[in-house]
Amino acid sequence: MMSRLLFAAEEIHAGDGGWWADTAGVMLVLPFVAFLLILAFGKKLKYKGGEIAVAALAINLVWATVLLLMNANGGVLDQITFEIGHIGSGLVFELGWVVDGLSILMFFLVNFVGLVVFVYALGYMKDDVRVDWFFAAFSLFAGAMLVLVGAPNLIQLIIGWEGVGLASYLLIGFYWEDLDNVRAGNKAFLTNKVADVGLILGAILVGVSIGSWDFGAIDFAAFEGAPELAAVATAGGLLLFFGAMGKSAQFPFHIWLPDAMAGPTPVSALMHAATMVTAGIYLMARMFPLFEYMAQNVRIVMIVIGTVTLFGVGLLAIVADDIKKVLAYSTVSQLGYMMTAIAAGGYTAGMFHLFTHASFKALLFLGAGSVIHAVHSNDMSDMGGLRKFMPTTFWTWVVGALALSGIGLSGFWSKDEILATMGEQGLTVVLWISIAGAFVTAFYMARATFLTFFGSYKGDGQPHESPRIMTVPLVILAVPAAVAGVLNIPGLSLPRLGNFTEWLAVRLVPMGDHHAEAINFGLAAMGLAAAVLGVVIGWLIYYPDKETQLQRDSFEIPVLFPLLRKKYYIDDLALGIVALIKGPLARLVDWTSTYVIEGLVNGVAGLVKGFGVFVYDTLDQRGVDGVFNGLSAAADGAGSVVRKWQSGRVQQYAASFVAGALILVVLFVFVI
């Protein structure tokens, strides 16, 4: 491993990150320390342990920022591992951390977005129930994600992966008094668990074939075309992608994400921006060499699924009434863009969109949270005209919405890069669908914005702007949401920082990445035009103020909208399958166990017992006993003993069975 590191470091002139990289594992551990501390002492503290959670991520952010800057200044490549167990035939399990362009980016993202959201949550959760448990689980969430992105091998990735799943389950079902929330948590966990079958099997295929789960080893095997990896590359790649579909909510596994809104809003913000849903995209980026150099045919499947997701699931946002669900579907759609981009070879494009998306989606969710905090409802029919009451929330929301729609701000640049990648790869159909998707995105964001912030207020009471502890995070997030695009404008390299493409290229092997060298003005203009068109149409339909929000929202396309409201019946299908397994199938199995197998056993026992009765009544009493009837005094005594023994049916059954068994033993012993 070390020699490979040195080789790669020389190839790309990366440093080893020195002390900061050697101690980067601190970031993976601190949130868990915070978790335990909050559980132990949280109740006694002013912010119920929130201060511990914030402190942990603040310290983490120092490491992440230093590493990010070091990586921008020449690259950092390092890996530290500890063996936690090995098996004779060469199976080694290790934990540790990998420090390279990709993981550093994720370290920064998780800790930065996490810190902002944590601070926001200090205000948002202030008067809520179980605040200490909230921050404990929140720390667990961030910690598991850091374990995932810092993983030097597939095993640790799986540990982090399932840890993220667990934390999300705990947080989605945070208000567990209401069983609907519990069901939402179950749905998330189980949907992911189904997909995890793919991850586990894919990891087994890849790991066993090359004898290592180390990402470096896998990258090298893929890069050098190792035949043992090539033999399983397609199956392994497909299975890993299957796993990624769960966490990253790709069609048809997207069904858990809108339900996941049951948790407190800061959870949604973190889940949609930095932790959880980015995990699948990250896995694909981490395994990119496998798909780039070997499993090319899997990419077709990835592109199809990604495209269906970005357009089909995006459409669902149009009919959502819950402001958070609009955002949830938009996340699924953007994840589709990322997946398609990576599948098309755009390693940088996909990750860059992940990066910009993290800032503006966290911003939008926190903005939605601020709105919900003010009007005490998720439903847009209780909103309207909030622009006047909550100016900071409004303006930051507009920044986020424009960025998401791909108009001018950070999202424009990252989405443009994805379109350029598709264009370059000659994926014309996918390109057009993506542009149509950009139109849809802008349209539903316009709808949400106009319904929420324009017109007159339709809810109860007098909404107020949120406290500073919540608005400052909004403003902080608005900055990257607006300008992060500058980090990767094709052909531009910032002084002393370089650009995003160079940062991400710091990996053990060359990524063979396809990225645009110059701005494709034609595609950029088309994407922009589609988005602006979406906003304009949205403005025409949803801007005018009416008596009620429902009247404002009465625009309808026959057939399509009802179908969208039914979510293409996929949720119903999934529920039906689950009900089938839980109900009839499980009952059938239980029935066979109780009546067929057990009935068989009891039947045999009954037969043996019957035989025993026959022996006793017919042979013993009338035959053998009859012969000895003359000597009956003793026999009578014995008989009464036996009759006593008989008094309970169960004993009888037992006795005869034991006798039968003993006879069997004796028979077999003598036969041999």
Q: Which of the residues 68 through 107 are near other proteins (CB under 8 A)?
A: 83-89, 91, 93, 95
Q: Which of the residues 576 through 595 are near other proteins (CB under 8 A)?
A: 578, 581-582, 585-587, 589-590, 593-595
For residue 584, how far is the Cα from the chain centroid?
Answer: 30
Selected from 45, 59, 190, 563, the binder of other proteins by CB under 8 A is: 190
- Cβ(56)–Cβ(33) below 8 Å: yes
Non-local CB neighbours of 270 within 8 Å, separated by 6+ positions: 113, 114, 117, 138, 141, 142, 276, 362
Closest approach, Cβ 413 to other proteins, in A, equals: 37
194 lines the binding site for other proteins (CB under 8 A): yes
- Cβ(643)–Cβ(652) below 8 Å: no
Closest approach, Cβ 29 to other proteins, in A, equals: 11
Selected from 6, 179, 518, 529, the binder of other proteins by CB under 8 A is: 179
- Taking the CA atoms of residue 282, residue 283, residue 286 and residue 287 in that order, the dihedral angle to the nearest 10 degrees is -150
Alpha helices in 18-100 (DSSP H): 18-22, 25-41, 50-72
Buried/exposed 390-411: b ≥16 CB within 10 Å, e otherwise: bebbbbbbbbbbbbbbbbbbbb
Selected from 597, 613, 619, 642, the binder of other proteins by CB under 8 A is: 597
197 lines the binding site for other proteins (CB under 8 A): yes
Closest approach, Cβ 667 to other proteins, in A, equals: 10
When the beta carbons of 73 and 593 are compared against other proteins, the nearer one is 593
Selected from 1, 204, 479, 615, the binder of other proteins by CB under 8 A is: 204
Closest approach, Cβ 193 to other proteins, in A, equals: 5
Strand stretches in 114-195, DSSP E: none
When the beta carbons of 432 and 645 are compared against other proteins, the nearer one is 645
Selected from 150, 152, 207, 243, the binder of other proteins by CB under 8 A is: 207
When the beta carbons of 89 and 462 are compared against other proteins, the nearer one is 89
User: Can you spell out the DSSP letters for 527-591?
Assistant: HHHHHHHHHHHHHHHHSS--SSHHHHT----TTHHHHHHTGGGHHHHHHHHHHHIIIIIHHHHHH
Neighbours of 610 (CB within 10 A): 11
Size of the site for other proteins (CB under 8 A): 69
Closest approach, Cβ 593 to other proteins, in A, equals: 6
6 lines the binding site for other proteins (CB under 8 A): no
Whole-angstrom Cα Rg for the chain = 32
Buried/exposed 135-167: b ≥16 CB within 10 Å, e otherwise: bbbbbbbbbbbbbbbbbbbbbbbbebbbbbbbb
Residue 456 buriedness (CB in 10 A; 0-12 / 13-18 / 19+):
exposed
205 lines the binding site for other proteins (CB under 8 A): yes
User: How many residues comprise the chain?
Assistant: 672
Among residues 406, 469, 562, 343, the alpha carbon closest in space to that of 51 is found at 469
User: Can you spell out the DSSP letters for 227-259?
Assistant: HHHHHHHHHHHHHHHHHHHHHTT-TTGGGHHHH
CA distance 481 to 326: 19
- Cβ(294)–Cβ(225) below 8 Å: yes
499 lines the binding site for other proteins (CB under 8 A): no
When the beta carbons of 75 and 160 are compared against other proteins, the nearer one is 160
659 lines the binding site for other proteins (CB under 8 A): no
Sign of CA dihedral 222, 500, 105, 99: positive
- Angle, CA 356 vertex, CA 353 and CA 357 arms, to 5°: 75
When the beta carbons of 177 and 556 are compared against other proteins, the nearer one is 177
When the beta carbons of 436 and 659 are compared against other proteins, the nearer one is 659
When the beta carbons of 159 and 519 are compared against other proteins, the nearer one is 159
When the beta carbons of 190 and 624 are compared against other proteins, the nearer one is 190
Selected from 183, 296, 321, 546, the binder of other proteins by CB under 8 A is: 183
Selected from 26, 58, 80, 201, the binder of other proteins by CB under 8 A is: 201
Closest approach, Cβ 601 to other proteins, in A, equals: 6
What DSSP element (H or E) covers 91?
Answer: strand 91-99
Among residues 298, 153, 289, 285, the alpha carbon closest in space to that of 223 is found at 289
Q: Of the listed pieces 62-70, 171-179, 276-284, 501-509, which binds other proteins according to CB under 8 A?
A: 171-179
- Going from the C-alpha of 299 to that of each of 183, 284, 295, the distances in angstroms are 34, 11, 7
Q: Of the listed pieces 249-257, 471-479, 628-636, 649-657, which binds other proteins according to CB under 8 A?
A: 649-657
CA distance 191 to 263: 17
Quote the tokens at residue 349: 């494009």
When the beta carbons of 40 and 540 are compared against other proteins, the nearer one is 40
Q: Of the listed pieces 192-200, 221-229, 508-516, 637-645, which binds other proteins according to CB under 8 A?
A: 192-200
128 lines the binding site for other proteins (CB under 8 A): no
Closest approach, Cβ 165 to other proteins, in A, equals: 9
Selected from 114, 173, 411, 455, the binder of other proteins by CB under 8 A is: 173
Closest approach, Cβ 201 to other proteins, in A, equals: 6
The footprint of other proteins (CB under 8 A) covers 83-89, 91, 93, 95, 155, 158-159, 161-163, 166, 169, 173, 176-179, 182-183, 186, 189-190, 193-194, 196-197, 200-201, 204-205, 207-208, 578, 581-582, 585-587, 589-590, 593-595, 597-599, 601-603, 605-606, 649-650, 653-654, 657-658, 661, 664-665, 668-669, 672
